[in-house]
Structures are given as structure tokens and as C-alpha cells.
A and B are shown apart, each in its own frame.
Chain A
Amino acid sequence: MTILMDEVLQEIVDQAYGAARLGRNGDSSDRDVISAKVLTELEVAGDAMRYLDRKGRIAWRVSPWLRDHLMDLQRDAEAEFEAEDI
């Protein structure tokens, strides 16, 4: 069973896993080890948090702060895209 996490965190972990497999950072290429390391760093930074999912399992998701920040970025990008169309 792998560590449960939302899409945003999964993407971040996938990037770290890809980098590790290519040997760019000299870390272990075990997916669980990389996931744990990345999630720990994100939690300390206040970007990720643990929660109990509907089945009572520990899962991870982005923190409200990071979620709001990403939504702001998305809104900005969409606004810029619309401005370019004009």
C-alpha cells in the first residue's frame, strides 16, 4: 500500500521520484522513501498536511494556504490567457 495523497502532492512526488531515478540527486529511488521525504519537507514548510480519509486511513493533501495560492496562480494564468486572446 502506497502513501495516500492528493493529485497536487502526487505530482510533486512523481517529479522527485523521476529525478531520483535519473540519479540527479543521489537519493534512494524507492518510491515510498522518496514520498516520505518529500511529504515530510512539505509538512514542515506548511505546504502539506495529514488527515483521516473517509475510510479512516492517514492520507495527505495540500494545506489550505498552498491550495489557495495555487488557485490564485491558476486564476492569474487564465486571466493572462484571456487577455492574449483579445
Chain B
Amino acid sequence: MLDRPAPAIDLSIDALKANLQRLEGEWEAYQSTRDRDGIYGFLTAVFELVAVWAHEGTAVDYARWALWLRGHRSAVVSPEPFAAVIFCTADRKKADYRTRSKWSRVLRYAAEYKDLDEPLATYIKRKGGINRCAARFARRLGRSGRTEATETHRPLDRPFRQRTFLWCGGPQIR
């Protein structure tokens, strides 16, 4: 009895709304601070949320639901989850398309290569900062680097990376 798997707890629409509100709070906190590292709090919150979805194999579906909840009914069919969550929770007047795109690339890079026990901010700084990580993504996982990446790293070695890489599964939203 003690060895039975932990029950999966479905994410309801209300829970998804609450999670998006929490991230909006993180965005507000970032906007209200003069700390140049303030962005890491927001990015960490986005990263953690999408990491859980990816682990459950529902990242794309929840990202689509998030867009839908925020009124973007004609959004793309398979949104990139990090970009979608940033789009839904950051003020688009303060963070333009290029900035949001850069952040999503950084988070995708971290999702592939960061160890689970290393804080996101520490990892990004260790890799040279946000801009450098975005460039690393382009080189290793972007359109031009995808062929090389499949030869040099093995995401299937680790469960989280495997699920991040395969983004799959159906929604359990009620």
C-alpha cells in the first residue's frame, strides 16, 4: 500500500487561472524593484510552472488554455509553452516581442541543460547571462543548431529533459 504511486491531481481551469495570477504577481514584483536581478524571480516562476506541465506531458495543452483564458482565442495550435506563459503574464508594453522571445529561448535552453537542483538564476549567470544563454539556445537548439544538438546531447538520459523535449499528452482541464 505504501508503494502505490502518488495520485495525479488534475489542474482545473480555476487552478490554471490562479497560477497565471501568481505569475502576474511575480511580474509586478519585478516591475516594482530596481534590482537588476529582479527578472530572475519572474523567469523562475515561469520556468517552474512550465516544468511541471512538461513533466506531466501537458505543457502545450495548458499553454493553449492559458492563451485562451487571456482572450487570445485565435492563437496558434501548438504554442511554445514558455513563450505563451510569458505572453500571458508579462506586460506587453514593457516587454516587447523580441525581449519575450529572448526570455523564452533562455528558458528552453535551461529546460534542456540545467540540473534540477541548480537555481535558474545561478545557472543563467554561470552560463554568461540572459543574452548569452539565448545565443547558446540558437546555436544548440535553434533552427540552425538542431541537427548538431541531436548529436551532441541526449535529452532522453533524464526524465525531465525527456518530457520537456517531447511535449506531449492531453489536457485534464475541467
Chain A interface residues (CB < 8 Å from chain B) = 1-4, 32-33, 36, 39-40, 43-46, 49-56, 58, 63-65
Contacts and interface: CB of A to CB of B under 8 A. Distances in A.
Contacts, number: 65
B7 A54 contact: no
B5 A1 contact: yes
B55 interface: yes
A40 B51 contact: no
B55 A56 contact: yes
Interface residues of B, number: 28
Nearest to A51: B48
Interface in B20-64: 21-22, 25-26, 48-49, 51-52, 55-56
B52 A45 contact: no
B6 A40 contact: no
8 contacts: A2-B6, A32-B6, A40-B12, A44-B12, A49-B48, A56-B55, A56-B159, A58-B52
